[in-house]
Chains A and B, each alone.
Chain A
Amino acid sequence: MTLAEVIIRLVMVALAIGLLMSIAPLLTWGERKWSALAQDRVGPNRAAIELAGKSITLNGLLYPLADGLKMIFKEDFMPTRGEKFLHFVSPWLAVFPALAVVAVIPLGARVNLFGHEIPMQVADLDAGILYLFAFASLSVYGSTLAGWASNNKYGLLGSLRTSSMLISYEVAMGLTLVGLMMTVGSLRLSDIVEYQQGTMLGFLPRWGIFMQPFGALLFFVSAFAETKRAPFDLPEAESELVAGYFIEYSGMKFGMFYLGEFVEVVTGACLFAVLFFGGWQLPWASSEAYYNPLVVGIGGFISTAYLVFFVITLLGLPLRDPRIQFAIAAGGFLGGAGLALLSGAEGLLGPKGGVLGLILSNGPELAKLLMSLMVFTMKILILCWFHILLRWTYPRFRYDQVMKLGWKMLLPAALVNLVVTGIVLLIIR
């Protein structure tokens, strides 16, 4: 491994963790704000910083910050007769696996920049999906041990529910993906993404969700259950078990469970995007299309406009205002034009020397990199939004019903999906 490769890997680690750690706290804000909107409320908007005599609230964007500060300085409570070591260690066990999952996820297109082959993922493992499953099952320990170590009956009930529920749903989750693995023929996540380019049947993007619609639904349900959020929030079931397995946690230890939950939401969205929504691929287009300035321009326009729109809704600005609408359009236009220019400039202007030449010669690759990153982020954000809004819509299951759903509905359905996929593949090939 050369020094450059080491640096690339380190940068990738920073990028992956950075992406997770910036989206996850944002989601704690988004959860409150989006749920508030759907529930006919305004949501939190009072946290403020006094700057030059003006209080800046940023529409409640400061809440994650305030939360973090609060949790750090809050008393770290430890039940007297609890199991000290496990009580200390289990929040880490809850966060770490959730973070580790992101290592195998391709965040963007593999590019060739400045003479280096750069895969936009920390580790491109052959057995990427198996790695995912391994870490997903590790996360059971965190919550199970937390409840047990708290010496609390509610905690115990919560941890029992967690362990049985998570393990049951992992079985279903694993089986639903076998269909996809058979279709693609690889466990490597970058292969799966590569496979999802172009069109199928002439009019559909060749995405996992169209190749395996049933599998996608099943996977979505079981991945949802893995995050332990409503309607699958029986481990913490507010009204029965008060807070379930983390009832005796406070301060940053509680914060880590909380963060872990949101990290799981993000990684869940990443996984779902990679497996079923083509990862960083553009719909209908092949990955070669990233070198087409026109495609890059249109894609850039849409994704930049979306990101601007996202930021604007973050800030709570009124979307009815024509100026805001103009800003969104302008942002999209600038982004699209910039990317298209970057991609196609060398072709238009011919080769140049110096730093400009260096950038221009790497222009198409750079544009591809930026574009794919943006497309991927956009997909994640939409999925996270969907995930969070779903969480606030439904009442929760009962313990036995969730097990019944897992074993009696999801598992057989996954098997059926597997068999049908096998038959179809046999016929086609």
Chain B
Amino acid sequence: MQEVVRKLPTSTMTLQMGPSHPASHGTSKFTVELDGETILAIDIEFGYLHRGFEKMCENVTWTQVVPYTDRLNYVSPLINNVGFYMAVEKIAEVKVPERALYIRTIISEMSRICDHLTCVAATAMELGGLSIFFYMIKARDRIWDLIEDITGARLTVSYVRIGGVMNDLPLDFAEKWKPVRSLVLAMLHDVDVMLTKNRIFIDRMRNTGIINGETAMAYGLTGPMLRGSGVKFDIRKASPYLVYDRVEFDVPVGAKGDNFDRYVVRMQEIKYAVSIIDQCLAQIPDGPFITDDPRLALPDKGSVYGSIEGTVDHFMHIMFGIQVPKGEAYSYVEGGNGELGFYVVSDGKGKPYRVRVRPPCFANLSALPTMITGALLADLVPTFDSINMIGGEIDR
């Protein structure tokens, strides 16, 4: 008998996921080429949330940029605030009071907790573990309550000012932090029991979305993604800003660079962030929370209402804005997803000449095709989640 080999005529399938798809987080579109369920190629399209952040910043005063930065990474707006003003302070060579540095550290770490909680919660939810999402979001909400206490808003905080912050910490902040702290830690324990040893979860996360340290660096990955790949780089350690050199914490590092490592790194970082806040609250000195330089900060309300100098300072400040000297600076903070860089150029005219933001998840997402090609369609979900793309930040 003659052997007849017949090949079925097969073709690949192009599947469009998004921009309105549960896994696309609302603002990105994947065009996936599938062979069965194996991803052969992926094209990522975003920009649906683009609102011209950089263009807008060039047309407002230095102070008025803050509300725009709130809307970059909307899960951790306070880190954006801090990052932007650190760049401005770098050009203007402003000395920030001690207390303000501590406050900035505390709020940065609170934001980091929120960011990581959201990321892990979303991962768990999109893998089907909806309950973990609720536990984590509940804890995040408690932190947002605290942020509301400090800043006056939950999300659009606009809290940081040049040379300090807008308000002092509330008097009872340390009291209110205690129950939140224990809630976060209890929740972490629960989630740990439900996920970390759970084979279903391990199977989904281990060995999916692998990226090794070298490739990760070449792609410019930072933050938990880079640390998951085993590169011990954390700006808080590498070039300590604020008061990170005065608190003790460790930088968790993964081994394989897969989704599970990133999950573990994030969970660890939440614990360290909690401990950093504790240490800051123990160390925080009394004192002013904003610089008293009248060219940079508004005078306090008492002197505005009471004295003619105060009133004049106030008028000058509002009418002419902050005068940032000519120059350029690139400042970098450790955002929730990695290095959040602000490259600010001033021409000395009262408005930023250029505000460039380096969104961490922009670089992180650009590595997705290398991480996901050849894997199964279902792997796209945890991988994309562990990248933690935030629409407001990547699209600006």
Min CB distance A401 to B, Å, is 5
On chain A, the residues within 8 Å of B22 by CB distance are: 238-239, 242
Please determine whether A153 and B13 come into contact, CB atoms closer than 8 angstroms: yes
Task: Assess the B200–A396 pair: CB atoms within 8 A.
Answer: yes
Q: Scan residues 209-249 of chain A and give those whose CB is less than 8 A from a CB of chain B.
A: 230-231, 233-234, 237-240, 242
Interface residues of B in 289-336 (CB under 8 A from A): none
Report B115-126 CB contacts with A as 1/0, cut-off 8 Å.
Answer: 000000000111
Interface hit among A37-45, A76-84, A350-358, A417-425: A37-45
Please tell me if A35 contacts chain B, counting CB pairs below 8 Å.
yes
Q: Which of A234, A392, A395, A400 contacts B198 (CB 8 A)?
A: A395
* Chain A residue nearest to B377 in the complex (CB): A240
CB-CB nearest in chain A for B24:
A239
B1-58 residues at the A interface, CB under 8 angstroms: 13, 15, 21-23, 37
Give the CA-CA distance A315 to B18 in the complex, in Å: 41
Report the separation of the CA atoms of residues A233 and B23 in the bound assembly, to the nearest whole angstrom: 16
Q: Which of B127, B131, B194, B379 contacts A396 (CB 8 A)?
A: B127
- Judging by beta carbons under 8 Å apart, are A395 and B138 in contact? no
A157-B37, A238-B22 known; A395+B124 contact, CB < 8 A: yes
Cβ of B380 within 8 Å of any chain A Cβ, yes or no, is: yes
> Please, which residues of chain B bring their CB within 8 A of the CB of A398?
203-204, 376, 378-379
CB distance B131 to A35 under 8 Å?
Answer: yes
Whether A73 is near chain B, meaning CB under 8 Å from some CB there, is no
Q: Which residues of B lie under 8 Å from residue A401 when comparing CB positions?
A: 200, 203-204
* Chain B residues whose C-beta falls within 8 Å of the C-beta of A154 in the assembled complex: 15
Q: Does A393 contact B (CB under 8 A)?
A: yes
Q: Which of A242, A396, A399, A401 is most buried by chain B, counting CB atoms within 10 A of its CB?
A: A396
Q: CA–CA, A400 to B376, complex, Å?
A: 9
**Taking A157-B37, A239-B381, A401-B203 as contacts, is the C-beta distance between A395 and B15 under 8 angstroms?**
no
Q: Are A395 and B128 in contact (CB under 8 A)?
A: yes
Evaluate contact between B127 and A239: CB separation under 8 angstroms.
Answer: yes
Quick check: B135 and A396 within 8 Å, CB to CB? Answer: no
Query: For the complex, what is the distance from the CA of A393 to the CA of B190, rounded to whole Å?
Result: 12
A258 within 8 A of B: no
> When chains A and B are docked, how far (Å) is the Cα of A397 from the Cα of B124?
12
Q: B359-384 CB contact bits vs A (8 Å, 1 = yes)? A: 00000000000000000111111000
Tell me, in angstroms, the Cα distance from A240 to B375 when the chains sit together. Answer: 14
Is A85 located at the chain interface by the 8 A CB criterion? no
A203 within 8 A of B: no
Number of B interface residues in the complex (CB < 8 A)? 30
Chain B CB within 10 A, most for which of A238, A395, A400: A395
Tell me whether B378 and A237 are in contact (CB under 8 A): yes
Are B376 and A393 in touch, CB under 8 angstroms? no
A397/B130 contact (C-beta < 8 A), A40-B135, A242-B22 known: no
Task: Answer whether A395 and B13 are a contact pair too, CB < 8 Å, given A39-B134, A39-B135, A233-B128.
Answer: no
- Which residues 395-417 in A have Cβ within 8 Å of B in the complex? 395-401
- Chain A residues within 8 Å of chain B by Cβ, number: 27
User: Total contacts A to B, CB within 8 angstroms?
Assistant: 79
What's the minimum C-beta distance from A48 to chain B, rounded to whole angstroms?
A: 25
CA distance A233 to B200 in the complex (A): 13
Which residues on the A side are within 8 Å of B198 (C-beta)? 394-395
Partner of B21 from A40, A242, A396 at Cβ < 8 Å:
A242
Residues of B near A242 (CB, < 8 A) are 21-22
B129 within 8 Å of A by Cβ? yes
Query: For residue B125, which residue of chain A has the nearest CB?
Result: A239
B201 at the interface (CB under 8 A from A): yes
Q: Which of A39, A157, A237, A400 contacts B131 (CB 8 A)?
A: A39
Complex formed: what's the CA distance from A41 to B141 in Å?
A: 13
Q: Do residues B129 and A393 form an inter-chain contact, with CB atoms below 8 A?
A: yes
B381 adjacent to A39 (CB under 8 Å): no
Quick one: which of A234-278 are within 8 Å of B by CB? 234, 237-240, 242
Q: How far apart are the CA atoms of A339 and B268 in the complex, in Å?
A: 58
B128 contacts A394, C-beta separation under 8 Å: yes
Instruction: Report the bound CA distance from A38 to B124 in whole Å.
Output: 16
Q: How far is the CB of B214 from chain A (nearest CB, A)?
A: 28
Of the candidates B13, B129, B134, B380, which one forms a contact with A40 in the assembled complex, judged by CB atoms under 8 Å apart? B134
| Minimal beta-carbon separation of A164 from chain B (angstroms) | 11
**Distance in Å from the Cβ of B69 to the closest Cβ of chain A?**
30
Tell me the B100-156 residues at the A interface (CB within 8 Å): 124-131, 134-135, 138
| Bound complex: CA A254 to CA B131 (Å) | 25
Q: Determine if A231 and B23 form an interchain contact, defined as CB atoms under 8 angstroms apart.
A: no
Interface residues of A in 365-397 (CB under 8 A from B): 392-397
Q: Smallest CB–CB gap between A423 and chain B, Å? A: 30
Q: How far is the CB of B36 from chain A (nearest CB, A)?
A: 9
> Is B138 within 8 A of A239, CB to CB?
no
8 contacts between A and B (CB under 8 A): A35-B131, A242-B22, A395-B129, A395-B198, A397-B203, A398-B378, A398-B379, A400-B376
- Residue ranges of B at the interface with A (Cβ–Cβ < 8 Å): 13, 15, 21-23, 37, 124-131, 134-135, 138, 194-195, 198, 200-201, 203-204, 376-381
Q: In the complex, given contacts A39-B135, A394-B129, A395-B200, what are 6 additional A-B residue pairs having Cβ atoms less than 8 angstroms apart?
A: A238-B126, A239-B127, A393-B129, A395-B198, A396-B128, A401-B204
- Counting from the closest, the 4 A-B pairs by CB-CB distance are A396-B128, A395-B127, A239-B126, A39-B134
